Copies of this chain bind each other. A is one copy, B any other.
Amino acid sequence: MPGTNRQIRLAARPVGEVKPEDWEHAEAPAAEPGEGEFAGRTRFVSLDPAMRGWLDDRPSYLPPVGLGEVMRAGSVVEVTASNHPRYQVGDLVVGTFGVQEQVVSDGRGTVRIDASVAPPSTYLGALGMPGMTAYFGLLEVGALKEGETVVVSGAAGAVGSLVGQIAKVKGCRVVGIAGGPEKCALLTDELGFDAAIDYRSEDVRKALRTHCPDGIDVYFDNVGGDILDAALARLAMHARVVICGAISQYNAESKVTGPSNYLSLLVRRARMEGFVVFDYAARYKAAAAEMAGWIADGRITVKEHVVRGTVDDFPATLQMLFRGENVGKLVLELV
């Protein structure tokens, strides 16, 4: 039915895991674009681990999503009407448009997609936030040097799968940690990782001793918890621990578990550093161009997990992410 805009709004602040009743499935009238604006129809919605943090009412790098507000999300929209000088009907545009079918935007913070470079969904993954997160986290925060040993957790996820592959491009030894034999096989057989550790069936600490005989130079952490502790126990001298996320802790109802092996930072003269990718926005364009080159060369393989459905499938798709059921970048394609 044209003229209505189906939306997913935050109904309640989740405690622990996000539950179906934390969301409101709502309808609003579809707005018309005003002067200098364009309207678009959502084609792809991004699902990201960081979303869990946006739901909590506490200070962070972005304000929390308000109760009753449309859920914040990156998405790709197709322009359906435009009074905007840069966009024409039919253009594909990526931006933070939220989980809804119809959007109206003045174009701030948006980028036109060049479909000759990569499929639209890739602008939410390797050429979007996850790609930029992997790139700047590994190369800038991690200060990666050729020949080093890199370990990444959440290695089969959107960010992790790119971290490992970028490290291979840079001539490093790469060990990925992921859950389950399929993900681990993907890492070594398809993505070029030197080794994979299945944290569900292996003793991670022991496996890190085997696969990193000279210690870990850069540990890129997406998960926190016990795996962070295992990596801290295996740091090389002057190692860098990049804190990108902590998906194992996001749904914790009690206090986050801190890394009890943090004193290894002292013994190994190492540092642990956090970052937020937005700080590198001025350099996205150059980084995305480099990444697109690696993809075109076949040096980086893009893994995307596309769920086809409607905005109403957003809550269930988000649960997949926190249960580790996706491989690569998780995207909801609206059909």
On A, residues with C-beta under 8 Å from B are: 59-61, 224, 229, 243-246, 249, 255-276, 279
30 residue pairs from A and B, CB less than 8 Å apart: A60-B267, A61-B267, A243-B262, A243-B263, A243-B265, A243-B266, A244-B266, A246-B263, A255-B260, A256-B262, A257-B258, A257-B260, A258-B258, A258-B260, A258-B261, A259-B259, A259-B262, A262-B272, A264-B274, A266-B274, A266-B275, A266-B276, A267-B276, A268-B274, A269-B275, A269-B276, A270-B274, A271-B271, A271-B273, A272-B272
List the B residue with the shortest CB-CB distance to A62: B267
Main secondary structure of the interface of A (DSSP, over half): loop
Alpha-carbon distance A271/B257, docked complex (angstroms): 18
* Contacting pair A279 B269 (CB below 8 A): yes
Alpha-carbon distance A276/B273, docked complex (angstroms): 19
Q: What is the minimal beta-carbon distance from A276 to any residue of chain B, in angstroms?
A: 6
Say how many copies of this protein the assembly contains.
2
Q: In the assembled complex, which residues on chain B have CB atoms less than 8 Å from the CB atom of A229? A: 258
* Contacting pair B258 A269 (CB below 8 A): no
Q: In the assembled complex, which residues on chain B have CB atoms less than 8 Å from the CB atom of A279? A: 269
Q: What is the minimal beta-carbon distance from A270 to any residue of chain B, in angstroms?
A: 6
List the B residue with the shortest CB-CB distance to A229: B258
Q: In the assembled complex, which residues on chain B have CB atoms less than 8 Å from the CB atom of A275? A: 266, 269
Q: In the assembled complex, which residues on chain B have CB atoms less than 8 Å from the CB atom of A256? A: 260-263
**Contact partner, A272, options B60, B257, B271, B276, Cβ 8 Å:** B271
Alpha-carbon distance A186/B251, docked complex (angstroms): 44
Q: In the assembled complex, which residues on chain B have CB atoms less than 8 Å from the CB atom of A60? A: 267
Q: In the assembled complex, which residues on chain B have CB atoms less than 8 Å from the CB atom of A59? A: 267
* Contacting pair B267 A272 (CB below 8 A): no
* Contacting pair B269 A265 (CB below 8 A): no
List the B residue with the shortest CB-CB distance to A61: B267
Q: What is the minimal beta-carbon distance from A211 to any residue of chain B, in angstroms?
A: 19
Q: What is the minimal beta-carbon distance from A105 to any residue of chain B, in angstroms?
A: 27
Q: What is the minimal beta-carbon distance from A278 to any residue of chain B, in angstroms?
A: 10
Q: What is the minimal beta-carbon distance from A63 to any residue of chain B, in angstroms?
A: 12
Q: In the assembled complex, which residues on chain B have CB atoms less than 8 Å from the CB atom of A249? A: 263
Alpha-carbon distance A260/B142, docked complex (angstroms): 22
Alpha-carbon distance A270/B243, docked complex (angstroms): 10
* Given A265-B243, A267-B59, A273:B272 Cβ within 8 A: yes
Alpha-carbon distance A243/B264, docked complex (angstroms): 10
Q: In the assembled complex, which residues on chain B have CB atoms less than 8 Å from the CB atom of A269? A: 274-276, 279
Alpha-carbon distance A55/B170, docked complex (angstroms): 42
**Contact partner, A265, options B255, B266, B270, B273, Cβ 8 Å:** B273
